[in-house]
């Protein structure tokens, strides 16, 4: 009777571990096929950072650019740590700062050209 209980316990343990292994493989496959919004936002952020005029002498524009760079670096670190919510939040904040800076610069150019 003891051998039967031990053998049933071993079989149950093997089956449960096989189920767990199968589930982890499925989740890894779905992670690979799932679309990652953080990566897309980071790519957009990197492109926008390359397009930014870094020769601006306005103090506020320089501070906005420095803060946007900080948000870019921190969002990359959060993404590498799998903290996707924080990574997405910082990337969006940085993108908003870059947009604000571009709007302000274009407004300054319009005012100067009048």
Domain containing residue 16: 1-34
Q: What is the pLDDT of residues 2-54, one digit of tens each?
A: 777 877 777 677 777 766 676 666 555 555 546 788 999 999 999 999 988 88
Tell whether 30 and 3 lie within a shared domain. Answer: yes
Q: What is the pLDDT, as a whole number, of residue 9?
A: 78
Question: Residue 76: which pLDDT band, with cuts at 50, 70 and 90?
Answer: very high
pLDDT of residue 83: 94
Please tell me whether residues 13 and 62 are part of one structural domain: no
Contacts of 100 (CB under 8 A, 6+ apart): 64
Domain co-membership, 83 together with 105? yes
How many domains is the chain built from? 2
| 62/25 same-domain check | no
The reply to whether 57 and 24 lie within a common domain is no
Is the distance from CB of 78 to CB of 93 less than 8 angstroms? no
CA angle at residue 36 from 33 to 40, to 5 degrees? 130
Answer yes or no: do 70 and 17 share one domain: no
Q: Where are the alpha helices (DSSP H) in the chain?
A: 2-33, 37-51, 59-80, 84-113
In a shared domain, residues 57 and 11? no
The reply to whether 41 and 8 lie within a common domain is no
Give Cα separations from 34 to 16, 23, 31, 103, 110 (angstroms): 27, 16, 5, 34, 44
Of 61-70, 84-93, 97-106, the least confident: 97-106
CATH of the domain at 78: 1.20.1270
Indicate whether 24 and 75 sit together in one domain: no
Statement to judge: residues 104 and 77 lie in one domain: yes
pTM: 0.64
Shared domain check, 29 and 41 = no
Q: Are residues 42 and 28 in the same domain?
A: no
């Amino acid at each position: 009777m003891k051998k039967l209980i031990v053998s049933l316990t071993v079989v149950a343990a093997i089956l449960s571990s096989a189920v767990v292994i199968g589930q982890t493989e499925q989740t890894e496959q779905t992670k690979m096929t799932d679309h990652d919004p953080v990566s897309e936002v980071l790519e957009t952020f990197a492109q926008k950072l390359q397009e930014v005029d870094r020769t601006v002498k306005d103090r506020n524009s320089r501070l906005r650019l420095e803060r946007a760079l900080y948000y870019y670096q921190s969002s990359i670190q959060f993404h590498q740590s799998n903290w996707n919510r924080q990574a997405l939040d910082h990337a969006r904040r940085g993108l908003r700062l870059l947009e604000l800076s571009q709007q302000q610069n274009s407004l300054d150019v319009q005012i100067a050209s009048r």
